[in-house]
């Protein structure tokens, strides 16, 4: 079964949200007009990401970060040929060129950067393949997606999408019960924190906007990010009467008669 | 003669007419018209008025199935539709993620304004490009208590299952005193 579609209909943040919640393992291929990006996930966390338009190998990444010189880069490329990242990393650490921490920081930024770059794309098709893994020699991570999703929402340009996601500012927010998300690990802006501090089924989004002095355009963007990152969900405001449904219309009164009628419908449909 | 009504709604071409046709004892008297707009030319005809199907229960009771027109925007319709309704079925084409946004909008509207009970069907599960039901659940974000059922509208048994789930749901709510 497929998980594929077009970025016009499905944003990268929505895809990351899906992969994170479903804890998927595999590779997401995103094909734009002039570039293709592959993102690998392990149980819903970012493992590795690269693009065909950029060298994300360890050597090239360290060089761009000025952890190694051009001469060292050339040396590695000419002498070590197609040495794998893991192996090269060990060599460089042992030779005291770089620390393990430097390697991890710069590769993490590199992979995340490859995803961030996608947030500006408007054109492209995507396809997810289950259970694909990066090649063995790659240095991989298990990076939570919440921060990446929040960043994506901040960069979102298509405002009309927000209107579909948040049809009414009279809805309230509540924290999700998702145990894998720890708010303390999410980098939020001051505005985002202010909104978060008002999250409570008793407060409508409108009220939160008022309290945080945001207008009707600013607040949906932040709410969208919180929803996509899986930090919050939309609920009907608490103070309203808790009934979730209107009573169905039935041509008979009386509880017993109504139940009998529904049972007649059930029997008939079963017999079709 | 007593009548009960159910409404089948959902984005353009999600299979509403097909769904009703599969169980209706009369020909669905839909007002289909040829599609002229290029953008929506993925099939030849679309429903321009309400579809209309019928299941006679017994001498005294008839169930009507109404299908909403595909291309109309849903917002201003559901309130009118909700009146006199037993419940809704929201159909989504599992193989066309480009319609998920519209589907989500319907579901968010339902969540905000509480219609009569409803279930959601992930239709066209027989197609090779169909998204898995679990993925659709995340993509569509229905309220947690809402049933999302795999469905093949061309298959009568599958349609029956969806209708029955909605009825069981209503019965449960009656028994638990929710309305
Ligand atoms: N393979 C497959 N095709 C289906 C299924 N359900 C519907 N279709 C086909 O999908 C197309 C659209 O179905 P319709 O029943 O016309 O959809 P609709 O929701 O009534 O469309 P509008 O009224 O235009 O919104 C038709 O060609 C159907 O035959 C299904 O479960 N599987
Ligand atoms: Mg139709």
Is the pLDDT at A7 greater than 60, yes or no? yes
Confidence at A207, pLDDT banded by 50, 70, 90: very high
Select from A261, A269, A26 the least CA-distant residue to A128.
Answer: A26
Between A110 and A238, residue with greater pLDDT: A110
For residue A167, being part of any structural domain is answered with no
For residue A206, being part of any structural domain is answered with yes
DSSP string, A97-156: SS-HHHHHHHHHHHHHHHHHGGGG--S-EEEEEET----TTS----B-SHHHHHHHHHH-
Is the pLDDT at A269 greater than 80, yes or no? yes
What is the rounded average pLDDT of the residues B116-136?
96
**Structural domain tally of chain A?**
2
Average pLDDT of chain A is: 89
Minimum mean pLDDT range among A28-42, A83-97, B13-27, B39-53: B39-53
Q: Where among A111, A144, A162 does a domain terminate?
A: A162
- Ligand 1 atom 10, closest CA: B15
Cβ-defined contact of A250 to B4 (cutoff 8 Å): yes
pLDDT in tens, A208-240: 999 999 988 889 889 999 988 889 988 888 755
Torsion over CA: A87, A90, A94, A95 (sign): positive
pLDDT in tens, A114-143: 999 998 888 899 999 999 999 999 999 999
Q: Where among A135, A162, A189 does a domain terminate?
A: A162
Confidence at B36, pLDDT banded by 50, 70, 90: low
Same domain, A158 and A178: no
Tell me how crowded residue A264 is: count the other CB atoms within 10 A of its CB: 17
Torsion over CA: A268, A271, A272, B6 (sign): positive
Between B80 and B16, residue with greater pLDDT: B16
Name the residue range of residue A266's domain: 172-270
Q: Which CATH number do you get for residue B37? A: 3.40.50.300
Nearest CB to B57: which of A165, A170, A268?
Answer: A268
Tokens of B63: 């169930």
Nearest CB to A272: which of B23, B61, B129?
Answer: B23
Same domain, A70 and A183: no
Instruction: Give me the residues paired with residue A6 across strands.
Output: A125
Burial class for B46, CB neighbours closer than 10 Å (0-12, 13-18, 19+): buried
pLDDT at B58: 94
Same domain, A221 and A197: yes
The Cα-based distances of A39 to A20, A75, A146, B132 in angstroms read: 13, 29, 16, 20
Same domain, A154 and A54: yes
The Cα-based distances of A216 to A205, A210, B82 in angstroms read: 9, 9, 29
**Structural domain tally of chain B?**
1
pLDDT in tens, B127-179: 999 999 999 999 998 888 899 999 999 999 999 999 999 999 999 999 988 87
Residue showing tokens 């392990």: A42
pLDDT at A79: 83
Sorted by sequence, the CB contacts under 8 Å of residue B163 that are 6+ apart come out as A269, B6, B23, B89
Test mutation, A205, A235, A247, A269, chain B, max B CBs within 10 A = A269
Distance B17 CA to ligand 1 centre (A): 7
pLDDT at A1: 61
For residue A210, being part of any structural domain is answered with yes
Same domain, A147 and A242: no
For residue A139, being part of any structural domain is answered with yes
Minimum mean pLDDT range among A39-53, B19-33, B153-167: B19-33
What is the rounded average pLDDT of the residues A187-198?
91
A131: left (phi over 0), alpha (psi -120 to 50) or beta: left
Name the residue range of residue B42's domain: 2-175
Sorted by sequence, the CB contacts under 8 Å of residue B39 that are 6+ apart come out as none
Cβ-defined contact of B82 to A246 (cutoff 8 Å): yes
Same domain, A118 and A192: no
Q: Where among A162, A191, A207 does a domain terminate?
A: A162
pTM, 2 dp:
0.81
Q: Which CATH number do you get for residue A212? A: 1.10.10
Atom of ligand 1 nearest to the CA of B127: 1
Same domain, A210 and A153: no
Minimum mean pLDDT range among A5-14, A88-97, B104-113: B104-113
Is the pLDDT at B106 greater than 90, yes or no? no
Same domain, A80 and A186: no
Same domain, A187 and A153: no
* Cβ–Cβ pairs < 8 A, chains A and B: 142
Distance CA B161, CA B149 (A): 9
Same domain, A131 and A183: no
A262: left (phi over 0), alpha (psi -120 to 50) or beta: alpha
ipTM: 0.90
For residue A185, being part of any structural domain is answered with yes
Same domain, A8 and A141: yes
Same domain, A157 and A177: no
């Amino acid at each position: 079964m497929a998980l594929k579609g077009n970025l016009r209909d499905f944003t990268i943040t929505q895809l990351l949200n899906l992969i994170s919640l479903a804890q998927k393992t595999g590779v997401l291929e995103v094909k734009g007009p002039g570039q293709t990006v592959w993102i690998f996930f392990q149980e819903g966390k970012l493992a590795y990401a690269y693009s065909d338009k950029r060298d994300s190998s360890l050597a090239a990444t360290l060089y761009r970060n000025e952890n190694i010189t051009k001469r060292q880069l050339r040396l590695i490329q000419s002498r070590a040929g197609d040495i794998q990242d893991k192996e090269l990393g060990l060599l460089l650490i042992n030779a005291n060129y770089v620390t393990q921490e430097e390697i991890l920081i710069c590769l993490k930024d590199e992979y995340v950067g490859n995803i961030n770059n996608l947030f500006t794309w408007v054109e492209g098709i995507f396809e997810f393949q289950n259970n694909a893994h990066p090649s063995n020699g790659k240095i991989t991570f298990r990076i939570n997606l919440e921060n990446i999703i929040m960043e994506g929402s901040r960069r979102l340009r298509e405002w009309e999408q927000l209107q579909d996601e948040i049809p009414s500012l009279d809805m309230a927010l509540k924290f999700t019960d998702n145990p894998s998300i720890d708010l303390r690990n999410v980098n939020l802006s001051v505005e985002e924190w202010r909104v978060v501090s008002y999250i409570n089924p008793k407060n409508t989004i409108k009220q939160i906007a008022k309290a945080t002095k945001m207008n009707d355009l600013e607040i949906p963007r932040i709410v969208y990010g919180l929803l996509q990152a899986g930090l919050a969900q939309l609920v009907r405001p608490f103070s309203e009467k808790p009934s979730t449904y209107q009573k169905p219309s039935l041509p008979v009164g009386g509880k017993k008669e109504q139940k009998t009628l529904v049972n007649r419908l059930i029997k008939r449909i079963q017999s079709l | 003669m007593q009548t009960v009504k159910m409404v089948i709604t959902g984005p353009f071409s999600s299979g509403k007419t097909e769904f009703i046709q599969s169980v209706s004892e009369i020909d669905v008297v839909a007002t289909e018209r040829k599609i002229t707009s290029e953008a929506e030319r993925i099939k030849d005809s679309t429903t321009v008025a309400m579809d209309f199907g019928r299941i006679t229960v017994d001498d005294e009771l008839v169930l009507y199935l109404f299908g909403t027109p595909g291309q109309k925007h849903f917002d201003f319709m559901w309130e009118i539709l909700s009146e006199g309704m037993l419940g809704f079925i929201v159909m989504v084409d599992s193989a066309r993620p480009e319609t998920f946004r519209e589907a989500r909008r319907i579901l968010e509207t339902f969540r905000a304004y509480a219609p009569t009970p409803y279930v959601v069907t992930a239709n066209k599960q027989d197609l090779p490009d169909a998204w898995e039901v679990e993925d659709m659940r995340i993509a569509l974000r229905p309220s947690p208590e809402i049933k999302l059922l795999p469905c093949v509208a061309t298959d009568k048994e599958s349609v029956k299952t969806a209708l029955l789930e909605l009825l069981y749901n209503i019965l449960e709510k009656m028994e638990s005193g929710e309305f």
